[in-house]
Amino acid sequence: MRRILAIIAAVTLGALAWIQVEPSAPNEPGLGFSVPIDPGGAIGDQSVWYCPWVESGAVRDSTYDIGAAVDVEASITLPNPNPTLEPDTLAFVLRGPDARSVDTAELARRGPTPGIVEFDDGPAVVSNTMWTDELLTGDRCVVSVPKVWHLVGGITAEGFTLELRLFNPFPEAAKVTVQAVSEFGSSPLAGFEGLDVPGRSWITEDLSRVIPFLDNVTLTVKADTGLVIPALVLNNGTDEASWIGISQSATWDFPVTSVPGLEPTLVLSNTGNLPANVTIDVFATDGAMLEVTSLLVSPQQPVRLHLSDFATPPFGVRVRSNRPIGAVIQAGPPGTFPRSELGDRPDEDLTADVAPGGDDGDVTESGDDGVPDTYIGLASTTGNTDPATRWLLTGIGVVPAADTSIWLMNPSGDQATVTLIPLGATAAGPDKIIVAPGTIVEVPFAEVSETGLTGLIVDATVPISTGLSIAGSRGVAFIGGIPVE
Amino acid sequence: MTAILVHDTAGLAGTLDAIRRQVYGSEQIIVVGGDSDARRFAGSEEVEWVPAVSGAVDRIGTSHLWFVRSGVQPRADALAALVATATDLDASVAGSKILDLDNPDRLLSVGFATDVFGTPYSGLDEDELDQGQYDVVRDVAAVAGDSMFVRRDLARGIGGPDRLMPQLAAAVDFCQRARLRGARIIVVPSSEVLAPDPGRRSEQWLERASRIRGMLKVYGPLTVAWSVPAAFLSGLTQAAMSLLLGRWLFFSWLRAWGWNLLRLPDTVRERRKARRGREVGDEELFRYQVSGSLALKVTASQLADQVRQRLPGEDTTSMEMIGRELRRPSFVVGIGAVLFILLAGRSLWAVGLPAVGYSLPFPDSGLAGLDAYAGGWNPAGFGGAEPLQPLIALTAIVRLAVLDSGRLAEYVAITGSALLGVWGTVRLLRGWGVTAVAGTMAGVVYVAGSAAQGLAAETAIGAMIALGMVPWVMRLSLARWPATSLGRVGRVAAVGLTTGIVAVASPSLVLVALLALVVWALVNVNDGVAWRAVAVGGAGVGLALPLLFPWVGAADLNAFLTDGALYSSTSIVVAAAVVVALVTVVASAPVRLARVAGWAGVLAAGGALGARSSAFGAGSEIGHAGLALAALGLAGVTGAAFESITRVETAGWRRIAGGVGVVAAAVLVAASSVVLIGGRAGIPADRFREAFAFTQARPGDPAESRILVLGGPGDLPGDERIIQGATYRVVAAPMPELWEANLDGLHLADRELDDVLETIIAGETSRAGEALAPFGIRWIVIMQSDEDASYATAWSDRLTGQLDIVSLSAGLANETYENESAGAVRAVTSGATAWARVGVGYEGTSETGQLTVRENAHQRWGPEPWQQGGVWNEVSASTGVSGFKPIDGRRYQAYAAAFWAIVLVGFAWAGRRFG
């Protein structure tokens, strides 16, 4: 009997043990580990901005254009290509809201001077301008560093030189792989697999020699180890355009696409595996033209659209796509950019719908006499992925003898009341303007030597997009605005 | 002049006659010391009597004294030879050749060498005859106190022999003091003195105590600093080794140190006298000393002799006997089991415990471990005042017992426990009719079977150590009840002591033996012995609990028992083998064995339930106890299965069933051999040694900084902290130790680090190094997991874009970063000098300013003045040392626990010896 009882007890306990369920596995790393930060957006906290393409030497002048909405301690660090030498640094305090333009030559004048700008608080932003007697360029810097970058709009056709700058501001050496696609599909880049970029340094590769005679090149830069910030520098002999890499997005806003004398083009690139159905909206000074065109952008085949085919400049552009794509605006004198076949058009009806109320925009005149000047140059800019109600713009009026304008694009159906809060050594007070629904407005600014103003906080009652154009006898530069959280 | 030192008046008359017959007559004879008999005798012989040597020295006007011990008989020319040789060689102390009074051809002493502990070494074989082989005048460390010829001025300077010391120790001490004054000490073999053989006395506590006193008196501070602790450990080791010789020297050792403690003020006074006016240093004393510990060598030699005595002699009969012994299955199986354990632990011998999970090296100093346990600082993470687990005290004691060798201590603790476990299982099952072969098989399954492997896989080092003692608790509880009261008290004390060892090693296992006894009593419900064993086991648990102080008084026991989750799984083959063995043995074995198997089956199943009880809220500690119960159960099933097949009453279908049961049990034994792989006693392979070894190759002292370890659940050393589903913790560089395994709650610094990590994860800083430097974090290691790389990838993504941490990963198994920011140290002075961690304190260059100790702020950090600086401690840097002042209450509790352990040992010993 005891034997049976013992067996029953053992079996009962054993069965109880057997049916116990293994505790559930712990959760994967939480959301904080996986949310990427928009490389172009300013955040309301301490931040570090990376500016990859700047140069300062005997011929070239450049500025680090810094703006902050709050009090910040800022520090500019220019890594030295000689690893045994300390980097050049400049630390200062901005009593926000304020803006300051720092001449790169104050720190170093040794040619390429990519740099890092650190802020102990935010929102604070950085952009660069660079000029010589014969060229002018500019762009915003980036605040976060994804592993994969896309650089859209490269040209290696005759008359162009295209350089790829890979900036590694981090201590760890990076190993990157660069892949190119062009109008001919994938273009092999010999020697660009496992490319070493030393820590706290940079390399510059002349792509015109590696993949010559291409009209439309998109580069994908993938960091195998470490991280880099890439930028493209395009020169056509008369001017230079510089722009940084981007992530992909289903929406792109370009408030500035051209200045008088330049023909705007839009370059689209789909690096995914499926075709992207893309629609273009145009926002002119007198109203919106929605869906001026729709096209299928095939994978691995970048497309350039000549926007003057759809409307008369100036205008802003919104790009909508059913899949994430890359897009940049490039502008140059007519005939600068080769024409290529459009992608397959799903909708042959190219008739533009003019949005109602387009005539209500309050537009400032671009010149004293109301007649715009005509410029010769080359400009390129990346767009904004989302409209926002607050923007920080820097680099206003910093280029001597050049006309600076900010561009406000209201893609919404509501009127925007926009407050422009001047930053810098200026006594000017805020100014308010109205931007009608579906329109753009250009607001010109004089040189900093006249106004003391180097930056702006742009507050709007509805989400808008902003950009900056700098144009003069040296050339033309477009700089995207930076949204603020 | 001759002074006769009286120890015993019995031989005084003969000694006096012999002195009076000297051809070189003494000018004056004085009797020194002794009781009233000596005084009366001196009066009757018309020689002077003085109570102390100093009196004799003061009374004479001659240049030399001759100290002769009462009871000896110098030959007629003994003094003449001493005088002539000492004068010729300008020796200050001259001793005679000592021959056996009963056998004048036998040598007793021709001077001594000593070891550093003052133990004399004559160099003579036992019963060595005097054939003139040592008849040469030699410089020696010391001469026998039976006959010493001494310059009077020297005797006046250093005083006579120490009256607190016995004869031999006093002679050595006298000679050492004389040598400090630059005296030459020789032995003069032509001066022969017959003396009674003191006999081969066992180790005497007063001799030992006197030698310690002698060391304290003559050696310089530096030599005292290392030689006295070494003497302490050497004595403890000798006491432990002597157990194998059947001698109990522990109390002798303890008494010797206690005696010295009580007489410390007097010893200090004597030391001042001895070292005042010294002419030479310790190195002159070392010239006449042999290396090592003579006492240990003698004990080891005696052990070797004992082993030799058990080996066969030259005759055929003994060879046949040993042959028969060797062919006995129990002998073969026993040797096999020992070899199995040694093989299973071979890697522990080579490199110590693998650093993985909760298995970390023992703290780097036994004394520091005890100090930290007894109310000191808990160094886990950023530290705290929470008590360390008692395992730390146990490992510290083991470490001290093996001369503070960490690797040896780890090996001894794990393999020693396994051997004890096998032995204990054999003894336990023998009481239930299971013979040695089956018992040994059961023992192997007990310490290496799937349940024990579960403990090893959990890196439950404490439970693995405790496992070895559990069968002994049961064995002692079930053993025949002593007839006398003292014997019974001793038995209960022994059960309390063994239960205490289990509890100290792993508190959650304290009830395992009692539970097993209860189940045994239920299976044998009418057996009074079984129920008495339950009572004894219960009393043992009660007696064991005080040993857990101070930990048990301050620990959060609820958290201890519920933290963590264990879900032990075993292979289906092993589970099936257990079921088959259990059912067949219960069904077919004789009644007694069937009950053993039934008991074991209940334990195995109940233990398995305990090891999977996290759904009931049980923590990993309860899971460990479950595994220990299951291990006992598996051993019982195995033992019963192997035993049942040997029984003649197992016949017919029972034999067939028994055979099936044996096959199943053989599967359990075979499954135990898994622990042979790797030679780590089943513990997983090392992860952290390799991961953290790089710190020693980096510039600077790694002990000045910490390592931040990142990963996923289960990837890090010991306890982990969770942040957004991933894990992190800080550990000491170059290698975390066992006392860092268990983290407490979040304190100030922990919360601050948590905030910093949140900032890094959110991407809100690009200077993680700068943010981590104030925590003393110089390195960051991301532990890679073979099972899930997502955590490592997530951490890596967050650190790759940092501006001030440099990857060191080239050639390293784990992604590793070094902090470039300055000041990533654990303790730093206001002059920016880093101090290194030593034990749980800090040492560095003394400065006039403050020292910031980056441990969680606590007012007991010192030296004064202390103030809180943020989350850290700011103390004075003036002494070059900073430490945590122990919490008095806990320290007293630790003393009380130690005293209680001694009491239990005493009663257990007395009960066994006299009960």
- The pLDDT score that the predictor gives to residue B416 is 94
- Are the beta carbons of A22 and B586 separated by less than 8 Å? no
The distance of A193 to chain B (nearest Cα, Å) reads 20
Q: Which of A2, A43, A78, A145 to mutate to test the interface with B (most CBs of B within 10 A)?
A: A2
Q: Please tell me whether residue A16 adopts helix, strand or coil conformation.
A: helix
- Are the beta carbons of A227 and B800 separated by less than 8 Å? yes
Task: Please tell me which residue of chain B has the smallest CA distance to A43.
Answer: B764
Mean pLDDT computed over A282-299: 92
Cα–Cα distance measured from residue A219 to residue A191, given in angstroms and rounded to the nearest whole number: 14
- Are the beta carbons of A7 and B726 separated by less than 8 Å? no
Confidence of residue A25 (pLDDT cuts 50, 70, 90): low
Cα–Cα distance measured from residue B437 to residue A278, given in angstroms and rounded to the nearest whole number: 83
Confidence of residue A43 (pLDDT cuts 50, 70, 90): low
CB B563 within 8 A of CB B389: no
| Helix (H), strand (E), coil (C) string for B275-329 | HCCCCCCHHHHHCCECCCCHHHHHHHHHHHHHHHHHCCCCCHHHHHHHHHHHHCH
Q: Which residues of chain B neighbour A27 with C-beta distances below 8 Å?
A: 725
The contact set of A with B (CB < 8 A) is 2-3, 5-7, 9-14, 16-17, 20-23, 26-34, 37, 43, 45-48, 116, 118, 144-145, 147, 169-173, 199, 226-227
B109: pLDDT strictly greater than 60: yes
Mean pLDDT computed over B678-692: 92
Q: Which residues of chain B neighbour A21 with C-beta distances below 8 Å?
A: 615
The distance of B567 to chain A (nearest Cα, Å) reads 6
Task: Please tell me which residue of chain A has the smallest CA distance to B567.
Answer: A22
How many residues belong to chain B?
A: 915
**In this structure, what token pair is assigned to residue B832?**
């920016």
Q: Which residues of chain A neighbour B724 with C-beta distances below 8 Å?
A: 29-33
Q: How many contacts (CB atoms, under 8 Å) link A and B?
A: 133
- Are the beta carbons of A26 and B712 separated by less than 8 Å? yes
The distance of A12 to chain B (nearest Cα, Å) reads 8
Q: Which residues of chain A neighbour B615 with C-beta distances below 8 Å?
A: 20-21, 23
Q: Which residues of chain B neighbour A28 with C-beta distances below 8 Å?
A: 725, 790-791
Task: Please tell me which residue of chain A has the smallest CA distance to B808.
Answer: A172
- Are the beta carbons of B605 and A23 separated by less than 8 Å? no
Cα–Cα distance measured from residue A180 to residue B703, given in angstroms and rounded to the nearest whole number: 50
- The pLDDT score that the predictor gives to residue A40 is 56
- The pLDDT score that the predictor gives to residue B751 is 93
- Are the beta carbons of B758 and A27 separated by less than 8 Å? no
- Are the beta carbons of A3 and B594 separated by less than 8 Å? yes
Confidence of residue A461 (pLDDT cuts 50, 70, 90): very high
Cβ within 8 Å of residue A267, ≥6 positions away: A152, A153, A216, A218, A302, A303, A304, A305, A327, A328, A329, A330
The distance of A263 to chain B (nearest Cα, Å) reads 39
Mean pLDDT computed over B482-500: 95
Q: Percentage of residues in chain B with pLDDT exceeding 90?
A: 54
- Are the beta carbons of B713 and A26 separated by less than 8 Å? yes
Q: Whose CA is closest to B659, among B601, B605, B587? A: B587
A35: pLDDT strictly greater than 50: no
- The pLDDT score that the predictor gives to residue A357 is 37
Q: Which of A51, A86, A172 to mutate to test the interface with B (most CBs of B within 10 A)?
A: A172
pLDDT digit string (tens) for B751-788? 999 999 998 988 888 889 999 999 999 999 999 887 77
pTM for the model stands at 0.70
- Are the beta carbons of A7 and B583 separated by less than 8 Å? yes
Q: Which residues of chain B neighbour A11 with C-beta distances below 8 Å?
A: 605
Mean pLDDT computed over A37-58: 75
A353: pLDDT strictly greater than 50: no
Cα–Cα distance measured from residue A145 to residue A130, given in angstroms and rounded to the nearest whole number: 23
pLDDT digit string (tens) for B550-597? 999 988 888 888 888 888 888 889 999 999 999 998 888 888 889 999
Strands B138-139, B185-195: pairing kind? antiparallel
A432: pLDDT strictly greater than 90: yes
- The pLDDT score that the predictor gives to residue B1 is 60
- Are the beta carbons of A10 and B604 separated by less than 8 Å? yes
Task: Please tell me which residue of chain A has the smallest CA distance to B593.
Answer: A3
Handedness of CA A431, A436, A438, A444 (dihedral sign): negative
Mean pLDDT computed over B372-387: 94
- The pLDDT score that the predictor gives to residue A30 is 60
Report H helices in B674-734: 688-692
- Are the beta carbons of A23 and B763 separated by less than 8 Å? no
Among A35-44, A113-122, B376-385, whose mean pLDDT is lowest?
Answer: A35-44
Q: Which helix (H) or strand (E) holds B560?
A: helix B557-562
- The pLDDT score that the predictor gives to residue B912 is 85
- The pLDDT score that the predictor gives to residue B657 is 85
Cα–Cα distance measured from residue A27 to residue B615, given in angstroms and rounded to the nearest whole number: 18
Q: Which residues of chain A neighbour B801 with C-beta distances below 8 Å?
A: 144-145, 170, 227
B99: pLDDT strictly greater than 50: yes
Task: Please tell me which residue of chain B has the smallest CA distance to A48.
Answer: B766
Confidence of residue A38 (pLDDT cuts 50, 70, 90): low
Confidence of residue B196 (pLDDT cuts 50, 70, 90): confident
B825: pLDDT strictly greater than 90: yes
- The pLDDT score that the predictor gives to residue A234 is 94
Cα–Cα distance measured from residue B706 to residue B200, given in angstroms and rounded to the nearest whole number: 56
Q: Which residues of chain B neighbour A34 with C-beta distances below 8 Å?
A: 794
Cα–Cα distance measured from residue B619 to residue B610, given in angstroms and rounded to the nearest whole number: 10
Domain ranges of chain B: 2-195, 206-282+293-301, 423-679, 688-819, 827-884
- The pLDDT score that the predictor gives to residue A39 is 56
The distance of A262 to chain B (nearest Cα, Å) reads 39
- Are the beta carbons of B523 and A28 separated by less than 8 Å? no
- The pLDDT score that the predictor gives to residue B807 is 86
B460: pLDDT strictly greater than 70: yes
The distance of B499 to chain A (nearest Cα, Å) reads 26
Mean pLDDT computed over A46-59: 89
Q: Which of B606, B725, B766 shows the shortest C-beta gap to A27?
A: B725
- Are the beta carbons of B609 and A13 separated by less than 8 Å? yes
- The pLDDT score that the predictor gives to residue A31 is 43
Give residue B559's region: left, alpha or beta (phi > 0; psi -120 to 50).
alpha
Mean pLDDT computed over A70-78: 94
A361: pLDDT strictly greater than 60: no
Among A264-268, B315-319, B339-343, B423-427, whose mean pLDDT is lowest?
Answer: B315-319
- The pLDDT score that the predictor gives to residue B570 is 84
Of A84-88, B196-200, B539-543, the range with the highest mean pLDDT is B539-543
- The larger pLDDT score, comparing residue B4 to residue B50, is at B50
B192: pLDDT strictly greater than 60: yes
Confidence of residue A485 (pLDDT cuts 50, 70, 90): low
Q: Which residues of chain A neighbour B569 with C-beta distances below 8 Å?
A: 22
Strands (E) across B462-590 are located at none
Q: Provide CATH code, domain B2-195.
A: 3.90.550.60
Cα–Cα distance measured from residue A292 to residue A199, given in angstroms and rounded to the nearest whole number: 46
Domain ranges of chain A: 47-483
Cα–Cα distance measured from residue B443 to residue B669, given in angstroms and rounded to the nearest whole number: 10
Q: Percentage of residues in chain B with pLDDT exceeding 70?
A: 96
Amino acid at B582: L
**Summary mean pLDDT of chain B:** 88
B327: pLDDT strictly greater than 80: no
Confidence of residue A425 (pLDDT cuts 50, 70, 90): confident
The distance of B628 to chain A (nearest Cα, Å) reads 15
Among A398-407, B504-513, B655-664, whose mean pLDDT is lowest?
Answer: B655-664
The distance of B817 to chain A (nearest Cα, Å) reads 9
Cα–Cα distance measured from residue A434 to residue A460, given in angstroms and rounded to the nearest whole number: 9
Mean pLDDT computed over A330-337: 90
Q: Which residues of chain A neighbour B608 with C-beta distances below 8 Å?
A: 13-14, 17
- The pLDDT score that the predictor gives to residue B292 is 78
Cβ within 8 Å of residue B577, ≥6 positions away: B664, B665, B667, B668, B671
Q: Whose CA is closest to B465, among B681, B167, B610? A: B681
pLDDT digit string (tens) for A55-67? 998 899 999 999 9
Q: Percentage of residues in chain A with pLDDT exceeding 90?
A: 56
- The pLDDT score that the predictor gives to residue A346 is 46
B35: pLDDT strictly greater than 70: yes
Mean pLDDT computed over B109-113: 91
Mean pLDDT computed over B776-803: 87
pLDDT digit string (tens) for B203-213? 578 888 999 99
Q: Which residues of chain A neighbour B586 with C-beta distances below 8 Å?
A: 3, 6-7
Confidence of residue A475 (pLDDT cuts 50, 70, 90): very high
- The pLDDT score that the predictor gives to residue B826 is 96
Cα–Cα distance measured from residue A476 to residue A379, given in angstroms and rounded to the nearest whole number: 6
